[in-house]
Structure 1
């Protein structure tokens, strides 16, 4: 399988809402859960199924990376979940029938194989691939090279590299400690104890933990530094490790202990993607409508409680029943003072809502998003200012004062979340033109069509 290239740039004018948006929709599965399920399945002792996975650039790149290391992955998605045979009996909690709307259910099957090189892995712009796959490459017998999109070379990777070196892995990185990367695996990693600073990304911890059961001595991973962001993603990692049979101890703050041992093949039920749902929920709030995300599980591995709290504080009415998770607009949008460190992926959409609110907002605790697909703090400050908001950029966030909206060309910086923010602004501001909406293919290729259908009612 060759490189999974980014979609060609596609300028797009965000549709303006002419009335309340009312819709029930399905969305594809969580990127975070799909990526973790793929890695754990490739390391398991038997076959696995992944039900309702996300098919998007990031997860396709992950599947390609694992294939290149020796796993067999069928992503044809031809059979409905209930019809796929040969599944392990063990099934993860969470996830329901996808129900109505635009997301087709599907099943990917994963067969683990001996991890071998040589291999060349294209990470694209996916943080999950560039941080989850190198520890697997260290377990492979052979040389594995990593590179990706130009901006991927600027994304932080050094903590993973230094940790692998400390564990005895032979590798070379760029002078800055990032891509391009060469890992010379010997078929095993001794493991042991290692200290890292994971304040730049929770993926540094998750990437090491996911492979740790296959290390000969397991792993004791200790974080030293400012708080690790996106703690719910760390809990997702440890929950999924345990679901696959790993023994994980996280009882000591900032210390994770993973015992060596086998991982089970299983069926993974993937929940709808909560971060991907955020702009659709925002549409209900901006227009005074109601949007239901079908298939939302009663018990979730994603930070739904934090999202509900944020949206409620900003003026939404949120409820859950057998139909799914519903967000209703109340006709008012309130400014908010919020620490978004645990849910930093929501920052662009929350910032767009803040620009449309009736009072100022302060968003903080997200200094690490300067190193995401783009410097999201600087990018949001520039683009929201163009659209008429008063924005002060701070080291770890933004102060946003709503102002009269105006048309603007909204640069998306090859960043799907920036495109989501622009679409939310465009609900209320005519003439918001995105320089590229195709960047949403990173996690939701159907976004432009789903969004237009939602807003126009078609």
Structure 2
């Protein structure tokens, strides 16, 4: 476990190009494994989650070749009957655990899906039960899970009120089902923009998902996906940290190659910042976020952009007035409980943050005191907590290596824009 202290900053209108999106990359990798031919992925982010995903599809029989930095070729699986049982370790990736469990259900030999101790605590009930109803043999509702396919298809009900990843995984997996699959949605679907991300990714490989109604999806059987070439767009969640860094330093920041067209809810985070008083300018494919005065507290529904909630909470600490963040119950099922752990850690600074099972309420302008903050082994908390050091130099982030999950070069990127830290 590593610990980082934020020493100082000298941010002066920097320009940043953020690495490719792990959300897109995770989808492209598993779909490429089901496609015929060789898919080329460029600007692929290099982090622990993506390494785990590439290793997982290779264990299932896809051929993975590293061509250059950030460039990978994936030849799709040709034999869905493995010679021997395999165990796939999803490490700390909740997304992969849901996606690869569904994809592996196309195999006609036994596959065990396992993960870190922390990931074993995350719910898998919905995807396990859905796969059983679609003809897959599944031995458990929690990791590790042993399963054997193939997916026969049919009709299944799915509760998406806790995580959209269950649905995304099934949409991808059922592309190869023996017969058509109808998924009936129940409960309020959280992070619906991530479902659109999955549908768009499937379409890039020639796959089809039809919307029968708002609560019913149809996936035609035995689809022949086509290999393709994709330049992975910049990660919009990672971009949020640099937007916040510029505002906390009372300067501006330019983000190059920003993905304005992304259906991912977090791509609209700059609009939240604009509502708080930031100056936002679009310049071609660049986004400039600038400070033009103290930020103001706001009331905001973050249901469709959950992964930038920690970034927003940190900004809200230094805003005027109160920020009320709602519709975020699904944050309890991330790498940490991002409601409880986020707020409890920040309150160690003397912050005034209240929370419920689906909301966070931050009173800005508090007199904060230096304290060590634990990332709780959550990359989003680690990266957000680091930003506090711009206003409160000397703050310490424990378990700082958690950033390796999605952004291993985060500390170097902060250094490039003028935020200095040291490993203790």
SS of match in other structure, 1:406: coil
Match of 1:390 among 347, 352, 362: 352
1:109 offset after TM fit, Å?
A: 0.4
Matching residue of 2:209: 248
Query: 4+ residue runs of structure 1 moved beyond 6 angstroms?
Result: none
**What pairs up with 1:334-373 in 2 under 5 angstroms?**
334-373=296-335
Q: Could you say what secondary structure the match of 2:391 adopts?
A: coil
Aligned counterparts of 1:220 and 1:165: Cα–Cα separation in 2:
14
1:13/1:68 Cα in 2 relative to 1: closer, same or farther (>3 Å)? same
Q: Distance in 2 between matches of 1:362 and 1:377?
A: 13
Structure 2 vs 1, CA of residues 408 and 296 (structure 1 numbering), >3 Å: closer, same or farther?
same
Equivalent residue, structure 1, for 2:381: 418
1:431: Cα distance to partner? 2.1
The answer to whether the 8 A contact 2:260-2:267 is kept is no
For 2:94 and 2:384, locate their aligned partners in 1 and report how far apart those are by CA, in whole Å.
20
Instruction: Give the drift of 1:298.
Output: 5.1
Q: Match for residue 102 of structure 1?
A: none
How high is the TM-score relative to the length of structure 2? 0.94
Conserved? CA contact 1:249–1:258, under 8 Å: yes
Q: What RMSD over aligned residues (CA atoms) do the two structures have, in Å? A: 1.7
Structure 1 residues 69 and 305, CA gap change in structure 2 (3 angstroms) = closer
- Name the SS of the counterpart of 1:220 in structure 2: strand
Find the partner of 1:37 among 23, 28, 40. 28
Q: CA deviation at 1:384?
A: 1.3
8 Å CA contact retained: 2:112, 2:147: yes
- Give 1:259-270 correspondences, 5 Å limit: 259-260=220-221, 261-270=223-232
Given candidates 367, 391, 400, the residue that maps to 1:428 is 391
Report the Cα distance in structure 2 between the residues aligned to 1:424 and 1:73, rounded to whole angstroms: 36
Q: TM-score, normalised by structure 1?
A: 0.88
3-state SS of paired residue (2:8): coil
Check if 1:178 corresponds to 2:170: no
Aligned to 1:115: 80
Aligned residue in 1 for 2:123: 156
Q: Distance in 1 between matches of 2:266 and 2:277?
A: 17
Q: CA 1:335–1:33 in 2, change beyond 3 Å: closer, same or farther?
A: same
CA displacement 1:191-220 (0-9 Å, x = unmatched): 111001111110010000012110111321
Once the two structures are superposed, residues 148-188 of structure 1 have per-residue CA deviations (whole angstroms, 9 ceiling, x without a partner) of: 11111111111000000111111111xxx211111123xx3
User: Matched residues in 2 for 1:304 and 1:159: separation?
Assistant: 25
1:120-269 correspondence to structure 2 within 5 Å: 120-173=87-140, 177-185=141-149, 188-225=150-187, 227-250=188-211, 252-260=213-221, 261-269=223-231
Report how far residue 47 of structure 1 moved: 1.2
- Secondary structure of the residue aligned to 1:363 is strand
CA contact (8 A) 1:12 1:433 kept: yes
> 1:251 and 1:314, CA in 2 relative to 1: closer, same or farther beyond 3 A?
farther
Worse overlay, 250-259 or 282-291: 250-259
Deviation at 1:251, TM superposition (A): 5.1
Alignment partner of 1:450 is 2:418:
no
Q: Contact conserved, 2:110 with 2:147, CA < 8 A, in 1?
A: yes
The residue that corresponds to 1:12 in the other structure is 4
Counterparts of 1:326 and 1:50 in 2: how far apart (Å)?
Answer: 28
Task: Identify, as 1 or 2, the structure richer in strand.
Answer: 2
Q: CA deviation at 1:411?
A: 0.7
1:60 aligns with 2:24: no
Partner of residue 322, structure 1: 284
Whether the 8 Å CA contact 1:144–1:183 is kept in 2: the answer is yes
Mapped contact 2:237–2:266 kept (Cα < 8 A): no
Task: Select between 363-372 and 287-296 the one with higher mean Cα deviation.
Answer: 287-296
User: Structure 2: 5+ residue runs without aligned partners?
Assistant: none
From 30, 43, 60, the counterpart of 1:69: 60
Cα distance in 2, alignment partners of residues 351 and 15 from structure 1: 21
Post-superposition offset of 1:323: 5.6
Aligned partners of 1:332 and 1:358 also within 8 Å:
yes
Distance 1:456 1:127 in 2: 30
Shift of 1:27: 1.6
